[in-house]
Amino acid sequence: MDFQARQRYARGRILMGSIMQYIDMTEFGGPDVLKLATGERPEPKAGEVLIRVVAAGINRPDVVQRQGHYPAPPGASPILGLEVSGEIIALGQDVSCWRLGDKVCALANGGGYAEYVAIPASQCLPIPQGLSMVEAAALPETCFTVWSNVFDRAGLKSGDSFLVHGGASGIGTTAIQIASALGARVFTTVGSDEKVRVCQELGAEVAINYHNADFVDVIKAALGKQGINVILDMVGGDYIARNIKVAAVDGRIVNIGFLQGSIAEVNFMMVMLKRLTLTGSTLRPQSDQVKAGIARNLQNRVWPLLESGKVRPLIAATFPLAQAEDAHRLMESNRHIGKIVLKVSE
């Protein structure tokens, strides 16, 4: 380690005992429970790095946790925030894959709505060439979720048909672009004509405004008996049975959320006759080893798409850290297209 690196390391260690600003969740409830607070900066454990946060992505699980329905796993920070971008300023024991001063984006197990966060080194990725820190902060949670569910779990491949509900969300805009770039035929559902236009520009072959048309009818008209090979659903409710109707033989349906509820009446005769796979997952409780494997796949398969410009995060809005409450209000309004990001520092 040269002199400059040693100085930066020493500076990072001095900061450890200092305070930081973060967003405190004073109780479970609405966006108004989110308040700017001060507390001790974390110290990286073995295998972790300490990141000075530049930007932090807002995600639907943050909202669900704030409402009291998605508790942090054991050992995770109770502070909200599952993805960040920033600079590594300190290294925990046994970390050799990163250096002080490296600019990274990272999947956090919690703690992202803060000026500093400690994150397993294996969940960090380099900032893709050509992307800003704000854009990079919008990548980890969405890319990890899309890759692990659509490609690892459901096995989407070139030539398959793919339906993603909520196409204008952070997950949706990411899934549309990656699936299209890797050769799938993409279908999506959205809630406005403006969102239809944006999703088609991102690569969706068919974008359906669910206020104007039933996606079952539209997809059957487009594909006939062929059906959809892979479906990614974060809506639930009556979409669960309707997904089964449009699924292809040997289709794979993955649920990652239930905005309209998780209880549905399903005709399992259709599941049997079509040989369907119904599955789902949550990312946060999975092990660091599993997340490290997803990170390697992303760096090999998705990062080249980002650096070539074939995939790019769509930023709906940015807010200062102190305005996390407003950011959550926008998330809950469903008016946004793409990702909402907190800007923490320069």
Domain assignment present for 288: no
Residues 235 and 156 in one domain: yes
- Tens digits of residue pLDDT in 93-112: 999 999 999 999 999 999 99
Q: Which range marks the domain in which residue 35 is found?
A: 3-139+313-343
- Compute φ and ψ for 271, nearest 5 degrees: -60, -45
pLDDT of residue 100: 96
Using CA atoms, how far apart are residues 346 and 77, in angstroms rounded to an integer? 24
Domain assignment present for 293: no
Contact 83, 145 (CB under 8 A): no
Domain assignment present for 297: no
> H/E element holding 252?
strand 247-255
Residue with the two structure tokens 């990548």: 139
Residues 23 and 152 in one domain: no
**Average pLDDT value for residue range 86-96:** 96
Residues 110 and 186 in one domain: no
Using CA atoms, how far apart are residues 343 and 133, in angstroms rounded to an integer? 9
Residues 98 and 27 in one domain: yes
Whether residue 10 has pLDDT greater than 70: no
How many domains does the chain divide into?
Answer: 2
Domain assignment present for 158: yes
Domain assignment present for 62: yes
The CATH number of whichever domain residue 158 belongs to comes to: 3.40.50.720
Residues 214 and 317 in one domain: no
Q: What is the dihedral of CA 27, 16, 87, 323, to 10 degrees?
A: 30
* pLDDT above 70 coverage of the chain, percent: 95
Can you spell out the DSSP letters for 21-34?
EEEEE-SSSSGGGE
Domain assignment present for 150: yes
Domain boundary (265, 280, 295) is at 280
Using CA atoms, how far apart are residues 186 and 202, in angstroms rounded to an integer? 10
- Tens digits of residue pLDDT in 288-313: 999 999 999 999 999 999 999 999 99
Domain assignment present for 300: no
> For the chain, what is the mean pLDDT?
94
Can you spell out the DSSP letters for 98-143?
--TT-EEEEE-SS--SBSEEEEEGGGEEEPPTT--HHHHHTSHHHH
Bridge partners of 86?
53, 104
Contact 67, 53 (CB under 8 A): no
**Average pLDDT value for residue range 145-169:** 97
Residues 67 and 150 in one domain: no
Comparing CA positions, the residue from 30, 29, 7, 20 lying closest to residue 51 is: 20
Residues 76 and 201 in one domain: no
The CATH number of whichever domain residue 69 belongs to comes to: 3.90.180.10
Residues 221 and 264 in one domain: yes
- Tens digits of residue pLDDT in 41-59: 999 999 999 999 999 999 9
Domain assignment present for 108: yes
Residues 268 and 198 in one domain: yes
